[in-house]
Structure 1
Amino acid sequence: MMNWFYLHGRAIAHALRRLAGQPLGTLLSALVVGIALSLPGGGYLLLDNVASLARGVSGTPEISVFLDMGAGAADVALIERRLKAEPALASYRYVPRDEALQQLQRGGLGDVLGGLSANPLPDAFVAAPRGEDPAVFERLAETMRSWPKVAHVQLDSAWVKRLHALLGLGRSAVMMLAGLLGFALVIVTFNTIRLQILTQRPEIEVSRLLGATDPFIRRPFYWFGGLQGALGGLVALGTVWLGVEALAAPVAALAESYGAVFALSGPGVPESLVIVAFATFLGWLGAAISVRRHLAGA
């Protein structure tokens, strides 16, 4: 095990010396990788922020459960127990028919409702599901329709379906962009490692004459590609954060125009690790393909 750490430590040191020995080439490669990865990374982050903004503007989707006009206190208590036992609900509230009538009267319909001899409104519950999955809303609505003394269930999820469809389309487009740019970055690393192998051909031949194994020769190239990709990932993170800072004020102004308070958020720790890890993997993959292709004939 100690020998394994020692060999990889030497390979890392060798790769770092190569990177430091050509600062301009290292910087340009990191910029190419970073700017390319910042496009899908920033796009995915922007979609998440847009979803949060839309939720803040549109409010939380709700399910309204209207009871029969003949429902009594026992029926209301039964419905409330079932709502309380439903794990997919985040909250619910009971709206008595008299309270609903008062709300309509305060809303400007007092003259119309004043001519009625009796309150035409039923008792109702307004429930808020957990999450934003339209399938969960539909399931809850179907379940509530089967309950006794429930006359009608109104589902407020049309905007949620449209939002999920748009976000799904956006995420698919971002993933396609990430795949295309990732393929291009693998090609960039492939060519970089190919040039490294051609440059070090005499050194590789001497190492083989001295008994160096293929894994020993290949290991520094793998680390060179991985470290180059990791540097590009850090550049991508910096680029995304600069974009977040540049867009923060316009997005806040847009949210304020809708009466919402919203702050554009940058990538968190998990997202940052994913970006750097993905860039490192792309660099390693390009190096591995190039080494297998060109080192055998070196």
Structure 2
Amino acid sequence: MRAWSYQHRKAIAHAMQRLLRQPLGTLLSALVVGIALALPAGGFVLVDNAASLARGVTGSPEISLYLSLDATEADVADIESRLRAQDALAGVQFVPRDAALKQLADNGLADVLDGLERNPLPHAFIVTPRQEDPALFERLHTTFAAWPKVDHVQLDAAWVQRLHTLLSLVELGVSLLAVLLGAALVIITFNTIRLQILTQRAEIDVTRLLGATDAFIRRPFYWLGCLQGLLGGLVAWSVVTLSIALMRPSVEALAEAYGAVFSLNGPTPPQVLALLVVAIALGWLGTALSVRRHLRESQ
């Protein structure tokens, strides 16, 4: 175990020395990797912000249950107890028929309502699901419509479906962009490590003559690719964070002009960690492909 740890520490030190010996090349490689990673990373962050903004603008989706006109107080109490027993609901609001009638009168329909002999409005419940899931809305709609004394169920989920479709489309586009740029980064790392191997071919041949294994030869290159990926990930994180910071005042001013309160959020710690892990993994993959190919060809 100590020998294994020592070999990896030595390989890391060797890889860092290679990076420090070529500061300009290291900087340019980190910038290329970082800018390429910043595009999809920034896209995912903006999608999260857009979803948050959409929820804040449109509010929580609701389902309205209108009871039969002959529903008694016992029927109302029974339906309310059923609704409150639903774990999928975050809120339940009862709207008595008299309160609904008064609200219509306050909205300027008092003259029309005065000509009615009785209140034509039913009791109603307005419920809010815990999740903005169209499938959940449909399931609750079917369940509520089958209850006795429930005359009509109005599903306020059309905008939810459109929102999910739009955000899913944007997220798919960002994901495709991430795949394409990820493949490009693997190719860049492949060529970078290939040049490193070619410039050190004589050293590798001498090391082999001295009895070094392929694992010993590959190890510094693996760490070199991982370190390049890590540097690129840090650059991408910096670019995304700086871009969000520059855009935030303009976005806040625009939201304020429409009477809303909204601020762009930067990448969260889990998103930053995922970005760095992906960057390191791409660097390792490009290195593995390059090292295995060129060492096999040199045998």
Question: Is TM (by shorter chain) over 0.5?
Answer: yes
Partner of 1:200: 200
Counterpart CA distance in 2 for 1:296 and 1:62 is 63
Residue 64 (structure 1) aligns with: 64
Question: Are 1:274 and 2:274 counterparts?
Answer: yes
Counterpart residue identity of residue 268, structure 2 = G
Secondary structure of 2:131's match?
coil
Letter of the 2:230 counterpart = A
Deviation at 1:10, TM superposition (A): 1.0
Percent of matched pairs sharing the same residue: 64
Give 1:202 shift: 1.1
Partner of 2:106: 106
Q: Partner of 1:175 in structure 2?
A: 175
Deviation at 1:258, TM superposition (A): 3.6
2:36 maps to which residue? 36
Partner of 2:235 in structure 1? Answer: 235
Cα distance in structure 2, aligned partners of 1:32 and 1:95: 60
> Are the equivalent residues in 2 in contact too, given 1:141–1:153 (CA < 8 A)?
yes
SS at match of 2:56: helix
3-state SS of paired residue (1:80): helix
Structure 2: gaps spanning 5 or more residues: none
Instruction: Render the CA deviation track for 1:181-222: whole Å, top value 9, x for unaligned.
Output: 001111100000000001111111111111111001000001
Query: 1:7: Cα distance to partner?
Result: 1.2
CA distance in 1 between partners of 2:59 and 2:258 (Å): 12
Per-residue Cα deviation, 1:73-121 (whole angstroms, up to 9, x for no partner): 1111111111111111111111101111111111222222122121111
The aligned residue for residue 189 of structure 2 is: 189
What is the match of residue 15 of structure 2?
Answer: 15
Aligned to 2:226: 226
Q: Which residue of 2 aligns with 1:209?
A: 209
Counterpart residue number, 1:79: 79
Which whole-Å CA distance do the structure 2 matches of 1:285 and 1:116 have between them? 76
Give yes or no for contact 1:57–1:258 (8 Å, CA) kept in 2.
Answer: no
- Computed over aligned residues only, the root mean square deviation of the Cα atoms, in angstroms, reads 1.0
- Kept after mapping to 2: 8 A contact 1:88/1:130: yes
Alignment match, 1:127 = 127
* Other-structure match for 2:118: 118
- What code does the residue aligned with 1:260 have? A
Shift of 1:161: 0.5
Which stretches of structure 1, 4 residues or longer, exceed 6 Å deviation after superposition? Answer: none
Determine the C-alpha separation between the residues in 2 that align with 1:243 and 1:124.
48
Query: Match of 2:125, SS?
Result: strand
Matches within 5 A, 1:155-174: 155-174=155-174
Number of aligned residues: 298
Contact 1:37–1:178 (CA under 8 A) maintained in structure 2: yes
Q: Which runs of 5+ in 1 are unaligned?
A: none
Partner of 1:254: 254
